[in-house]
Structure 1
Amino acid sequence: KNKKWPNDDLDQFILSSLEKAKLQPNDSADRYTLLRRLTYDITGLPPTPDEIKAFLLDDTEVAYRTVVDRLLDSDAFGDHWARHWFDLSCYADLGDINGNMLIRDAWRYRDYVIASLNADKPLDLFITEQLAGDLLPFDSIEQQREQIIATGYLAIGPWTLQNYIKKQLDADVVDHQIDRIGKTFLGQTISCARCHDHKFDPIPTRDYYALAGIFHSTATTSYDGPGVWSQVVHRELPHPELNPEAIKHIEQQLRTLREQHEQLQLQLSNLLLSLPEATDANRLMMAEAVQANKSNVEYTIAFDAGPSVWANASQATAASDGIRIDLIRSDNTIYKSFSHKPGAWTGDKNAQALKPVSVSYVGDGTGALSVRISAISPGNGRFGGAVDNLTIRQGDTDLFTESFDFNTGTPIKGKQAHTGLTIYAKATLPRWTGIGINHSHAVEHAAGDLALQLFGGSTTNLAAAKPVTDMEVANHKRANEIRKELDILNRKISELSSSQTPDIALAVHDVTEPTNSRIYIRGEFDSLGNEVPRGFLTAFDSTLSNEITGDSSGRLQLAHWITAPDNPLTSRVLANRIWQKLFGEGIVRTVDYFGVHGEVPSHPKLLDYLARRLAVDNSWSLKETIRQLVLSSTYKMSSSHNAVSSIIDPDNQLWWRMPRRRLSAESIRDSMLAISGELNPARGGSPLGLELPGNIRGLGGNVNPPTWAGQIADYIINRRTIYMPVRRARPIGDLEVLSVFDFPHPSEITGLRPQTTVATQALFLLNSPFVKHQSVMLAKRVREDFPDQEQNRVNHLYLLTTGQPATKDDITDALAFLDACSNDFESGAVIAAQARLMAWEQLCHGMLASNRFLFRE
């Protein structure tokens, strides 16, 4: 009857149901509310004051549509809507029994999802790539990489990799994959048929194991033998630039850079000769935190030697040089020695770099062990020596690693040329502690047998040192310059070398010989029944064959079946999910379950219409579907309470108003950062910035995988929450906001998040250091934006936090609050200006904890 209200065909369905119940839709929300609602629903962030002003000043008919298009085209769209997808795909960056082990390269899948949504990749292709992207044809290396990365959907999950029973682990992995696919795309609890025929829905156990055969024929985890943790399968990605011509070019660049490096090393070696001699041994000292030299423990000492120079090459014609390693007991007796002699030099050379060497020994349990490295020159000429780096290993564990820079600092004329150097062990290896030492660059020793000593002896006696000349100062300066040039060359060489290494992705692949699965009686992997051919659910008619043959796992056929036009569920389930994200509830309220015991649709014909429009009219376009929904009159309704309507339809089943709901945990955090000016706009890439040694494939390094809780805590920075590391255990650091405000457990498939109201939420908002800091930064921002007028400052604060200007009452109340707080804070120790600043921080804190900020109307 109300022909003016509908703005889209979907409005007709809503209005028809309302009029049958003798209800009327709410009026449209005001423009401030609409803009805030729209911005949060599409991007997960609040509108800025400038965006609010621009929208209010645009009085054209297309103003609202223009905002919709702008928001859908923003990168923030993918950041926000990808999080909806990850609630279903159980995405995490860290996950094991303690939640601390890195799921290496999971971030590539995260970035794939975000990029796909921003590019508006058709949802049927989006689904197919995640189930079988590696089996699809491709037109470019970039497309092939993307499709392989997409299969991370199947590889990421709450796997119990420490389960040493491989068959049990495989059965559980396959069960979760089936459960996730069934709920996400079909709205079916297929995994209920693992042990018996589904109690309510037409899904027999045979159908479950027909699907299980597909995923048992897909490699998700690898297993190296009894007593060893399984690992998630990774795949090398094709490199778009690594064709034979590109490799040849890189190799030529490397040769050129290494030649430059060699020439600079030669210059550095010669300059070392000009530095003054020391009258005593140069020694580096290391304090020991725990006992070393344990009985029957193998230690390995290895180092790379830098340039070693003879002052007069003709004197070295028949001589040999070398490096000797002496392992010294606490009584200064030699326990073991090792020498390295590369051979005699010819007369036309004046410099040569020694080769890397190493020595191993077994500890004798006598206590602390020192290490002394000596550069030995049998001849009489002056000898200059440098050690690039030193590593001491106990078994497979690095106890100590140090890279020495012999040219740090600047010598002062009239003093011995030396540098101060502090050595620290790696933070993950607490058995060594660091101390400051003095080091002279080059030495001349009467016996010609000493260049450098480590871990023992006394410090250099500088009192008897010779003064430094102007020439030595100049040479030292040039040596510093050469060292910097060498560092740059080393970085270039490293970058070029790494460019030849293929990237790694968390991705599945078909096993060599795909097979059907046998039924697990009562779901037990060791109680086998009949074999079931690989296939799909038999309850749904399909033009596709229901059985899979050949040497394929069947993943690609499964993806085609799920996205087939005659599949009655996929388009309906996805259309319902999109509606739920915008309207707060689904047309089918049980968004993950369309089975017999799920709720019936409130508007069945509307759901059919939306499903067809998504799959057929919109060609599976997510953005176009969202655009149509948010342009509707149904979406624009206010959330105001209506006493009459609430009596007839208390649960808003007929959609007479827009539901009011709290912001998601991520939007709360991201919004605080955005309005305080602290949000880091960086996007994509690893969420940890860490490369974990010994953790090259999948999760962990077999039996004793490393944990990285400390490094993770250090990483927390002000990026959007989507780029923060997700841990299957309790969130870390400032991300406590997630667990407080109903962030779903990343091991569970969560189509609809709960919305709780508990005391810990208020306590978090009042006491969290993160919230307090954002309050301080917000107060600083509003004072800087409006340094003079406090009324304008209050209005600005309201625009930032609520998306609406402050009313007269708001301004009056805010100023009164500021006055009261200022009086409370002001004392002999707190001046008036400081008290006013503290009052503003309190006001900002109150706004961040208010419902007007926390709720989207």
Structure 2
Amino acid sequence: MLGNSLASAVLASLILLASSQFLSSQDKFVYQEPKLTAADRAHWAFQPPKAPEIPRPRNTNWIRNPIDAFILQALEQKGLTPSESADKISLLRRVTFDLTGLIPTLEEQEKFLEDTRADAYEALVDRLLNSPHFGERWAMHWLDLVRFAESNGYELNADRPHAWRYRDYVIRSFNDDKPFDRFLTEQIAGDEMAQGKDPREVSDLWVATGMHRCGQIHVVSGNLNPQEVRQEVLTEMVYGLGSAVLGLTVNCARCHDHKFDPVSQGDYYRLEAFFTSAQLKEIDFSTKAERDEHAKKLMEVMLKIAPIKNQISAIDKAYEQKLRQERKAALEPKFREALELPADRRSEEQKQLAKNAQALTKVTWDQILGALSPEDRKKRELLRQHLSNLEAELPVPPSQATAIQNEDKGQKAYILRRGELSRKVVAVEPDYPRVLQVTQSPTNSKFSRLDLARWLTRPEHPLTSRVWVNRLWQHLFGRGLVSTPNDFGTRGSRPSHPELLDWLALQFTRGGWKSKPILRMLVLSNTYRQGSSCRPDAKGLESDPENRLLWRMNRKRLEGEAIRDSVLIANGRLNREQGGPSIKVPLEPEVYDLIFTEDEPAGLWAVTKDSRQWNRRSLYLFGKRNVRLPIFEAFDQPDRLSPCPERVRSTFAPQSLVLMNGPFLLEESTRLAEAIWTKKELSQSSAVEQLYRRAYSRKPTESEVQSALEFLGNQKALVQKRMDRAETIRTFNTEANLDKASLAAWADLCLAILNSNEFVYIP
């Protein structure tokens, strides 16, 4: 035992000595950037897209546009054939969801089914591309990429009251089909484009730079110094750009040369140097009338709030003083004496004693809460609720952009040894990653972020157009042509159809960088129109089990937000109002318990007062980083901490529990039952048919109708027995003289339908 202890001590000493020698040697460290080789540059993603010939497969009858030619050629080489086309109603449901994120309403179903024109599907696609809901759907994909949120993250996680303007900018951009090169340029360097102009005339340019403000930021920084916090901000900016635009893991080169891709630390910090002059700014573009109106309304509400806060503070202060006196009385005499002496008369020892005494007598909020009498606790809760209601009336702040802006005097960027701010190696100037440069940059150049945006959006850039069209493909087909959409590097997946990827990228840039024409071409292809049979071809499963060659369509599960929106569409309660400040809906009790203290949720989460706003589309719900509705969390909403190129689709038990027992589904299935029940002209069979059409966009089969009617009869009898025993059943909004047992049975049927795979999956 003694020998082991001695050996451990010797080993520890050697490690300490080695560490000190290592640290001292780092002071003399000289960074040597690795040279690029021909092999580095030869990687397919670092070569500009090349125009391929459109293939000529044997089965020309199946080809509707060039996309089909590329897909069919790969299938024929494997001896595979494409699947039959999806039926008309499945295609309606699929394309409506893919382009707008919503399921078709009863009226939309009828209109499409009654349209017997040869180009009915083409007309449907054009209507959906021009729908204002198109921008909402595709904005969500972009906001995932840039990890958009409306709070700072970390300890304080304070709200960002103007972040919603960036969300609305993205929605408008997609609805207008703003050219993608312009869309990127405005976000990367909108402030430089707006320089010298009236902010009210170019407000969108300032708002667009909110892309760089989407990451987390320390406000309560603890032991971090301001320079470290600033370095974190720069890291977030490069991280967002590298992931969303370049599709490369450039952040891996922050601490060392990239282990796999030809991206050096020098490349990383030269890219960071584009942002070193950019400071976080709130740009005011409000009018005087807007500011005056805000000040007036704010004063009105604050005058109501002040006396409520004073009453709460009085309760807290009385208990705090009482607890402090009790703790002070329990101190040893020397601590009390030191504490009672004036600070300028204390000796060094007494100063330390007083400091310790202050810590010992400190009273926390939890302790005050625990000491409250039942009467005072109840009084305080009522005051807090009243305060929360008043806070919900606070006016929207005058128009501002959560933006960035260059300082007159830029900061220097340095290569940092191991990414540590204290270990600066050599200063660098802004420049592009070497492996992506067609020609060497001039050594005397001083690039701006506007130069960076222009370089990224050059038609011959090897990554920008490829990365974006791959994302368009991914969101329609469930998987990108490159299945690692944020990693086009050497360890990323190779494209399943490289010539098709290049052809799409060139079509995109040559077509003015517009996304809608590419999406239109994709959804009109026979490749997209294929069925997604649950009993797929055995040969296809054997040759291509992951369906990378697309011999059938992939089924896609709705995201948590889309499930919520679809439920609201099914029962006719979706509020389709667009834009504006985000909505805070009432949170479920377990979310309050997890996130907030026992007493404080109302103050930290002021629910939007107008209950009609609670049924807005999920995109418009307030995006706080550590607050997710259970249905969103269960169905894989991103955590808003990292760029999310692709939603995970997990399968686990809590998903079933949320759908079957969650308050939202219980409430909305009841509303769905009421919406159908109140249509007195419907027979039971017709009502079942309407339920299927609302939820599944199709009519039920005869056997499904019969099963539903049997369920309703059996369930009504069970509910009636519970009512006879005076047990609680669901609460309804309809008249009291209705048959509540039948209505409760219908609500249970609706809940079962909304829990089915057919509802949460798109064919």
TM-score of the two chains, using structure 1 as the length reference: 0.65
Q: Does 1:38 align with 2:95?
A: yes
Q: Does 1:530 align with 2:426?
A: yes
Counterparts in 2 of 1:201 and 1:548: CA distance versus 1, 3 Å: farther
Secondary structure of the corresponding residue to residue 41 of structure 1: helix
Match of 1:539 in 2: 435
Match of 1:103 in 2: 160
1:518 to 392, 414, 424: 414
Any conservation in 2 of the 1:210–1:516 contact (CA below 8 Å)?
Answer: no
Secondary structure of the corresponding residue to residue 508 of structure 1: strand
Match of 1:676 in 2: 571
**Which consecutive residues of structure 1, in runs of 5 or more, have no partner in the other structure?**
221-232, 258-284, 296-423, 434-490, 691-704
- The alpha carbon displacement at 1:432 in A equals 11
Match of 1:651 in 2: 546
Secondary structure of the corresponding residue to residue 539 of structure 1: helix
Match of 1:180 in 2: 240
Counterparts in 2 of 1:841 and 1:27: CA distance versus 1, 3 Å: same
- The alpha carbon displacement at 1:543 in A equals 6.2
Match of 2:125 in 1: 68
1:145 to 190, 203, 214: 203
- The alpha carbon displacement at 1:677 in A equals 1.8
- The alpha carbon displacement at 1:502 in A equals 6.0
Match of 1:125 in 2: 182
1:605 to 492, 499, 504: 499
**Residues 169-318 of structure 1 mapped to structure 2, 5 A cutoff:** 169-220=229-280, 233-237=281-285, 239=286, 289=315
- The alpha carbon displacement at 1:825 in A equals 1.5
Q: Does 1:755 align with 2:661?
A: no
- The alpha carbon displacement at 1:126 in A equals 0.5
Counterpart of 2:461, as a letter, is: N
**Cα-to-partner distance string for 1:577-636 (whole Å, 9 max, x where unaligned):** 0000000000000011000000100000000001111111x2111111111110111000
Counterpart of 1:529, as a letter, is: V
- The alpha carbon displacement at 1:104 in A equals 2.2
**Count of residue pairs the alignment pairs up:** 597
1:574 to 468, 483, 488: 468
Counterparts in 2 of 1:713 and 1:11: CA distance versus 1, 3 Å: same
* Distance (Å, rounded) in 1 between the aligned partners of 2:455 and 2:681: 63
Secondary structure of the corresponding residue to residue 187 of structure 2: helix
- The alpha carbon displacement at 1:42 in A equals 0.8
* Distance (Å, rounded) in 2 between the aligned partners of 1:785 and 1:666: 29
**Which consecutive residues of structure 2, in runs of 5 or more, have no partner in the other structure?**
1-57, 297-309, 322-377, 388-392, 586-599, 727-736
Secondary structure of the corresponding residue to residue 587 of structure 1: coil
Secondary structure of the corresponding residue to residue 426 of structure 2: strand
**Residues 485-524 of structure 1 mapped to structure 2, 5 A cutoff:** 503-524=399-420
Secondary structure of the corresponding residue to residue 529 of structure 1: strand
* Distance (Å, rounded) in 2 between the aligned partners of 1:546 and 1:104: 42
Any conservation in 2 of the 1:159–1:173 contact (CA below 8 Å)?
Answer: yes
Counterpart of 1:132, as a letter, is: A
Secondary structure of the corresponding residue to residue 234 of structure 1: strand
* Distance (Å, rounded) in 1 between the aligned partners of 2:256 and 2:316: 58
Counterparts in 2 of 1:819 and 1:707: CA distance versus 1, 3 Å: closer
Counterparts in 2 of 1:86 and 1:290: CA distance versus 1, 3 Å: closer
* Distance (Å, rounded) in 2 between the aligned partners of 1:749 and 1:514: 28
Counterparts in 2 of 1:101 and 1:608: CA distance versus 1, 3 Å: same
Match of 1:326 in 2: none
Identity of aligned residues (%): 36
- The alpha carbon displacement at 1:12 in A equals 0.3
- The alpha carbon displacement at 1:429 in A equals 7.2
Q: Does 1:158 align with 2:216?
A: yes
* Distance (Å, rounded) in 1 between the aligned partners of 2:706 and 2:692: 13
Match of 2:757 in 1: 851
Any conservation in 2 of the 1:209–1:517 contact (CA below 8 Å)?
Answer: yes
* Distance (Å, rounded) in 2 between the aligned partners of 1:115 and 1:193: 35
1:624 to 499, 503, 517: 517
2:618 to 710, 721, 740: 721
Secondary structure of the corresponding residue to residue 826 of structure 1: helix
1:27 to 72, 84, 105: 84
2:527 to 626, 634, 637: 634
Q: Does 1:837 align with 2:732?
A: no
Report which of the two structures shows the higher radius of gyration computed on alpha carbons.
1
Any conservation in 2 of the 1:95–1:729 contact (CA below 8 Å)?
Answer: no
Secondary structure of the corresponding residue to residue 60 of structure 2: coil
Match of 2:561 in 1: 666
Q: Does 1:782 align with 2:676?
A: yes
Counterparts in 2 of 1:518 and 1:95: CA distance versus 1, 3 Å: closer
Any conservation in 2 of the 1:25–1:656 contact (CA below 8 Å)?
Answer: yes
* Distance (Å, rounded) in 1 between the aligned partners of 2:259 and 2:253: 8
Counterparts in 2 of 1:157 and 1:137: CA distance versus 1, 3 Å: closer
Match of 1:772 in 2: 666
* Distance (Å, rounded) in 1 between the aligned partners of 2:431 and 2:115: 56
* Distance (Å, rounded) in 1 between the aligned partners of 2:709 and 2:105: 23
**Residues 432-451 of structure 1 mapped to structure 2, 5 A cutoff:** none
Any conservation in 1 of the 2:212–2:240 contact (CA below 8 Å)?
Answer: no
Counterparts in 2 of 1:535 and 1:825: CA distance versus 1, 3 Å: same
TM-score of the two chains, using structure 2 as the length reference: 0.73
* Distance (Å, rounded) in 1 between the aligned partners of 2:747 and 2:188: 50
**Residues 278-427 of structure 1 mapped to structure 2, 5 A cutoff:** 289=315
Any conservation in 2 of the 1:534–1:547 contact (CA below 8 Å)?
Answer: no
- The alpha carbon displacement at 1:184 in A equals 1.1
Any conservation in 2 of the 1:101–1:706 contact (CA below 8 Å)?
Answer: no
Q: Does 1:591 align with 2:591?
A: no
Any conservation in 2 of the 1:170–1:216 contact (CA below 8 Å)?
Answer: no
- The alpha carbon displacement at 1:798 in A equals 0.5
- The alpha carbon displacement at 1:137 in A equals 5.4
- Give the root-mean-square deviation of aligned CA atoms: 3.2
Secondary structure of the corresponding residue to residue 717 of structure 1: helix
Counterparts in 2 of 1:431 and 1:708: CA distance versus 1, 3 Å: closer
Any conservation in 1 of the 2:414–2:428 contact (CA below 8 Å)?
Answer: yes
* Distance (Å, rounded) in 2 between the aligned partners of 1:744 and 1:129: 25
- The alpha carbon displacement at 1:534 in A equals 1.3
Counterparts in 2 of 1:519 and 1:141: CA distance versus 1, 3 Å: closer
Counterpart of 1:289, as a letter, is: I
Counterpart of 2:428, as a letter, is: V
Counterparts in 2 of 1:546 and 1:593: CA distance versus 1, 3 Å: farther
Any conservation in 2 of the 1:94–1:100 contact (CA below 8 Å)?
Answer: yes
Q: Does 1:810 align with 2:707?
A: no
**Cα-to-partner distance string for 1:185-219 (whole Å, 9 max, x where unaligned):** 11111111111111111111111111111112111
Q: Bigger CA drift: 14-23 or 828-837?
A: 828-837
- The alpha carbon displacement at 1:682 in A equals 2.2
Match of 2:71 in 1: 14
Counterparts in 2 of 1:642 and 1:763: CA distance versus 1, 3 Å: same
1:79 to 132, 136, 146: 136
Match of 2:359 in 1: none
* Distance (Å, rounded) in 2 between the aligned partners of 1:103 and 1:503: 13
Structure 1 or 2: more strand by fraction: 1
Q: Bigger CA drift: 629-638 or 673-682?
A: 673-682
* Distance (Å, rounded) in 1 between the aligned partners of 2:156 and 2:666: 28
* Distance (Å, rounded) in 2 between the aligned partners of 1:686 and 1:426: 30
Counterpart of 1:74, as a letter, is: S
Secondary structure of the corresponding residue to residue 158 of structure 1: coil
